[in-house]
Amino acid sequence: MRGRAVVGLLAALVVAGCGNSGNGSGGSSAPTVGTPADLLVAIPTTTPKPSWTIKLADVVHAPDLKQGILPGSVEDRAFALAYPAHPDPAGPGTSWVYSFNPRTGAILFNGVELSGSVAGCYINGPNQLTCLGRQNAAAADSHPWAWVLDSHNGKVTYNGPTDIVNGDAMSVYKVGHYPVVAVPGTGWYGIGSSGEKTWFVPGSGKASDDTFWSRDIAPQRLVVGDRPDGTYLVYSVSDGAVVVDKLTARPWVYDGGFAVPGRSASDPEGRITFYDNTGKELSHFTVGVGRGAWQVISRGALLVVQYGDPKAPDQMRWLVFDATGKKITDLPTQGEPSKTRAVIIGDKLYVSDTVGIENTAKENPWKQIDLATASILRTCADLNLRGYVASDGKTILSGIMGEAGHITENAVDPSSCQTLWSMDSRDGGVVKVNTSLVQYSDSQLNGVES
């Protein structure tokens, strides 16, 4: 039982190349061609030095600890969880949560002790942190436990039993600024101020976190769920409100809203209909009789779909739309959606494929496409976007794990495909937190100067 708690704890923390440390803003005020410039991060052109340092020993006064940054932030309020490097299997366990400003390195509140076995902590809206685990994982009759903190000052507002257990019968995962409880065969729940289940959306209860949601846009707000009868719905993770229900085709969610492809007898022309976050219809695009459309990107930045070329039925094209349904780019297909990786960074679309590299850590070359003009730009052979960390639209920072398990961060200029600098992060990595870069290790956090 203790081992499961430790595994869950590690999974709930930021790991290099995984986890989304999204911005705390509500989204761009106007449609953007590419990712919003104000949510990108300045990347230095030479090897950076630490702009600030936080030593774990100065924040939590206990020996032999490790730490991880909680995924996400509330604007410039970020959080870290410290836990024993070598937990006592027979002991109840203790963890600590502290808060810091990722831009300045200021400590917002020092380590708050949580007595018990913490399996994971989650940002739960703008004012709350929710931690889940067991009162004493070493005891056979240990109760599921919740710790709820005021995320502004660290005050523990609830410390008591819960009916939420992250395990086989249910799973807890992060979507945007909220944790969601998925119960297979039942549906999805929110978590309240006393660690209790709150809102409820009935459905399949399949887990669907925001791991692949772009780091360069606002946190995810809407989720697609499915019903046992084969229909789909879209609901809000903040309050469980169902925005649209009983859809016969799976909708596509992105920053600013969602789109629904028409694939029924009542829509013979196959329209794609665009909606905002409230479910208000904005516009539609007609695919054409007998021509289906498939989503290429599911990372939330823009909607990219593949459909049959109306002028050449045997050929396919890619269309890029903004959140209002306005067509931004129209270009020849860059590969089959099921075998193609496509990432939007700044005003560029980066495309690679998985042909010949399935189930390996290898990367095929990445082609660059200008979103505004559809011009094909350079192809970079060593641009590792699988480990993408951040970008300012000109330089791309990504991490790659070596044979020894160490993460090496590389800053690459995609206009020349040249590596500007590399940095070994040893027992940690670099992560984007709001609009700052933070290098983390088991014992220390460093700001990455811009």
pLDDT at 267: 62
pLDDT over 90 at 14, yes or no: no
pLDDT band of residue 169 (cuts 50, 70, 90) is confident
Rounded distance between C-alpha atoms, residue 230 and residue 150, angstroms:
40
Mean pLDDT of 68-75: 96
Question: Cα angle at 75 between 205 and 321, to 5 degrees?
Answer: 65
Our CA dihedral for 326, 331, 334, 339, rounded to 10 degrees, sits at 30
Q: What is the pLDDT of residues 108-167, one digit of tens each?
A: 999 999 999 999 999 999 999 999 999 887 777 788 999 999 999 999 999 999 999 888
* SS3 annotation, the chain: CHHHHHHHHHHCCCCCCCCCCCCCCCCCCCCCCCCCHHHCCCCCCCCCCEEEEEEHHHHCCCCCEEEEECCCCECCEEEEEEEECCCCCCCCCEEEEEEECCCCCCEEEEEEEEECEEEEEEECCCCEEEEEEECCCCCCCCCEEEEEEECCCCCEEEEEECCCCCCCCCEEEEECCEEEEEECCCEEEEECCCCCEEEEEECCCCCCCCCCCCCCCCCCCEEEEECCCCCEEEEECCCCCEEEEEECCCCEEECCEEEEECCCCCCCCCEEEEEECCCCEEEEEECCCCCCEEECCCCCCCEEEEEEECCEEEEEEEEEECCCCCEEEEEECCCCHHHEEEEEECCEEEEEECCCCCCCCCCCCEEEEECCCCCEEEEECCCCCCCEEEECCCCEEEEEECCCCCEEEEEEECCCCEEEEEEECCCCEEEEECCEEEEECCCEEEEECC
pLDDT band of residue 382 (cuts 50, 70, 90) is confident
pLDDT at 354: 76
Q: What is the pLDDT of residues 257-314, one digit of tens each?
A: 999 997 655 666 678 999 999 999 999 998 876 667 888 887 888 999 988 877 777 7
CB atoms within 10 A of CB 294: 14
Does domain 2-448 fall under CATH 2.130.10? My reply is yes
pLDDT over 90 at 95, yes or no: yes
Q: What is the pLDDT of residues 327-364, one digit of tens each?
A: 999 999 887 777 888 999 999 999 998 777 766 667 78
pLDDT at 402: 75
pLDDT over 70 at 397, yes or no: yes
Mean pLDDT (the chain, rounded): 88
Q: Where are the domains of the chain?
A: 2-448
Our CA dihedral for 358, 360, 361, 367, rounded to 10 degrees, sits at -30
pLDDT at 13: 59
pLDDT band of residue 438 (cuts 50, 70, 90) is very high
Which residue did the predictor score with more confidence, 138 or 43? 43
Strand partners, 273: 260, 284
